[in-house]
Chain A
């Protein structure tokens, strides 16, 4: 019999909350986690806003020496992973750690460390570059550190597909459990790229909202006046577990993972395919993998970045897959509140669909005030809705043309 995979634990570190309950309540209340950047001087930057995590204390999660050796993205990932393991009530003394794995998504890696050490190189010379520069910067170190801190010895990988990374990681974890490689996999994504260099790079691409005066209104997916995404940071982690393994230990189950679809636009470095056909292909594959019909899907957590192109083309892609049912399905972009967490977005949004299924509540797209004729679907504007959610999917699309879609179902 084919194995089944369920979600048994969740953890988040985001600007909206450093625990799952606060995060979820903020989402359904429609709160924005976006504000003026405080971490560094933005006076020379065109962009002054982000969804920064303002009061993260690494020593609440691990000791000071360990924290010093971790880039911020690793700190977020490890903190969220420990939270998710606790939520899953996994007894690390009892579990077979040879069958406990980690598959994370990370789009950028330790860019804060990179910038710090680049300054050291320029100001003090090559002999002062830290021996921790490389291990702290490499994008796979969060997965490595999680494994080290708990002794997880099974599959351990990091997926780098830009803003699709987190969703690709969840899909890969799902498949690894299906093929029997592990009983439990810690998955999702982590990112910490609110730095002068990263902000400047995205800003030069004209990808970011310049609505510096109104931070809480800046991320407005599907709204006519959207003008780019707002950078977020943090981590969203899910514990995926083989069903029999979860049942044996009486684990609580949030949802079942039933479908995964991937594709590539094979079109342009950063611009999406103008017909949205790559995104449509990934959605179609996820729905086929789940052996359901498009009309069975109750909720789509959209990629919904608040850029002109994404929201228009994602709408087009949803119409291509859902046909006349496109107007009935509830779609929302939680990036309106969390900002865009890049490689961690899929992790955080995977947490969102698991909770939407568990709680039968769909969080809204906030700041949706003026209709755009090219974005004319039902985006759950401004207020959460209560609705039975049997099937929910999460879309993630990344630079490079990467598309990833994960589909979950109410567990029964």
Chain B
């Protein structure tokens, strides 16, 4: 559920096929994101899931799995 929503936003923002996105995908190495894309994506996810990802946590996010895990831990979904 979370993964599906995250995938949708990634596909939107990074302009990649949703099918290409897996839990293991690295934003920068696999999905062609640069540092600005990652910031934009995190902002969009914060808004969508009504959470706040602090900068020091955001810096650790490398893969789609990292962000899905973070959202799982910080929401009731």
| Interface, chain A (partner B; CB < 8 A) | 63-65, 68, 124, 127-128, 130-132, 135
Say whether A135 contacts B36, CB under 8 Å.
yes
- Nearest neighbor of A127 in chain B, beta-carbon distance: B43
Say whether B15 contacts A64, CB under 8 Å.
yes
Cross-interface CB contact of A65 among B15, B39, B43, cutoff 8 Å = B15
CB-CB under 8 A from B47, the residues of chain A are 124, 128
Say whether B36 contacts A132, CB under 8 Å.
yes
Main secondary structure of the interface of A (DSSP, over half): helix
Contact size class for B? 10 to 19
Interface membership of B40, Cβ < 8 A:
yes
CB-CB under 8 A from B14, the residues of chain A are 65
Separation of A226 and B36 alpha carbons in the complex (Å): 47
**Complex A-B, nearest 10 residue pairs according to Cβ-Cβ distance, in ascending order:** A65-B15, A131-B39, A131-B36, A64-B15, A131-B40, A132-B36, A130-B40, A128-B43, A65-B14, A132-B40
Q: Inter-chain contact count A-B, CB under 8 Å?
A: 21
CB-CB under 8 A from B40, the residues of chain A are 130-132
Q: How far is the CB of B33 from chain A (nearest CB, A)?
A: 10
CB-CB under 8 A from B39, the residues of chain A are 131
Q: How far is the CB of A122 from chain B (nearest CB, A)?
A: 16
Separation of A171 and B46 alpha carbons in the complex (Å): 48
8 Å CB interface, B1-25 against A: 13-15
Say whether B43 contacts A130, CB under 8 Å.
yes
Q: A64-B15, A124-B47, A131-B43 are in contact. List 16 more A-B contacts (CB 8 A).
A: A63-B15, A65-B14, A65-B15, A65-B32, A68-B15, A127-B43, A127-B46, A128-B43, A130-B40, A130-B43, A131-B36, A131-B39, A131-B40, A132-B36, A132-B40, A135-B36
Separation of A128 and B40 alpha carbons in the complex (Å): 9
CB-CB under 8 A from B43, the residues of chain A are 127-128, 130-131
CB-CB under 8 A from A68, the residues of chain B are 13, 15
10 A–B pairs (Cβ distance < 8 Å), ordered by A: A63-B15, A65-B14, A65-B15, A65-B32, A68-B13, A68-B15, A128-B43, A128-B47, A132-B36, A132-B40
| Interface, chain B (partner A; CB < 8 A) | 13-15, 32, 36, 39-40, 43, 46-47
Separation of A358 and B38 alpha carbons in the complex (Å): 49
Q: How far is the CB of A26 from chain B (nearest CB, A)?
A: 34
Interface centre among A68, A131, A135 (most CB of B within 10 A): A131
CB-CB under 8 A from B32, the residues of chain A are 65
Separation of A68 and B33 alpha carbons in the complex (Å): 13
Q: How far is the CB of B53 from chain A (nearest CB, A)?
A: 10
CB-CB under 8 A from A63, the residues of chain B are 15
- Nearest neighbor of B47 in chain A, beta-carbon distance: A128
Separation of A127 and B32 alpha carbons in the complex (Å): 24
CB-CB under 8 A from A130, the residues of chain B are 40, 43
- Nearest neighbor of A64 in chain B, beta-carbon distance: B15
Q: How far is the CB of B57 from chain A (nearest CB, A)?
A: 14
Separation of A63 and B77 alpha carbons in the complex (Å): 35
Separation of A127 and B14 alpha carbons in the complex (Å): 20
- Nearest neighbor of A134 in chain B, beta-carbon distance: B36
- Nearest neighbor of A128 in chain B, beta-carbon distance: B43
Separation of A216 and B14 alpha carbons in the complex (Å): 41
Separation of A131 and B46 alpha carbons in the complex (Å): 14
CB-CB under 8 A from B13, the residues of chain A are 68
CB-CB under 8 A from A131, the residues of chain B are 36, 39-40, 43
Separation of A68 and B36 alpha carbons in the complex (Å): 13
Separation of A130 and B36 alpha carbons in the complex (Å): 9
CB-CB under 8 A from A132, the residues of chain B are 36, 40
- Nearest neighbor of B39 in chain A, beta-carbon distance: A131
Q: How far is the CB of A157 from chain B (nearest CB, A)?
A: 24
- Nearest neighbor of A129 in chain B, beta-carbon distance: B43
CB-CB under 8 A from B36, the residues of chain A are 131-132, 135
Separation of A353 and B36 alpha carbons in the complex (Å): 42
Separation of A131 and B37 alpha carbons in the complex (Å): 8
Separation of A92 and B46 alpha carbons in the complex (Å): 42
Separation of A132 and B40 alpha carbons in the complex (Å): 8
Separation of A124 and B13 alpha carbons in the complex (Å): 19
Separation of A131 and B36 alpha carbons in the complex (Å): 6
CB-CB under 8 A from B46, the residues of chain A are 127
Separation of A68 and B14 alpha carbons in the complex (Å): 9
Separation of A7 and B43 alpha carbons in the complex (Å): 46
